[in-house]
Amino acid sequence: MTLQLTHFSAAFVFALFASIVFGITHRDTARDMVRYGLYCFVMFLGGAIVAGWAMWLLRR
């Protein structure tokens, strides 16, 4: 069985799970963990989208 993820869904899954681990391990209180996890998620996924558009512009 081969799982076929699109580039975006692979980036989404990666950002989601990496952010959960970062949130838990890098902050002390539950509230801070959630906030930092969300921040990492937005940065991961936002960074991928921005980099994608930057490459699209460079290609033109």
Interface ranges with other proteins (CB under 8 A): 1-5, 7, 10, 13-14, 16-18, 20-22, 24-25, 28
From the CB of 35, what's the least distance to other proteins, in Å? 15
Contacts of 37-44 with C-beta under 8 Å, sequence gap 24+, read 40/15, 41/15, 41/16, 44/11, 44/14, 44/15, 44/18, 44/19
From the CB of 47, what's the least distance to other proteins, in Å? 15
From the CB of 60, what's the least distance to other proteins, in Å? 22
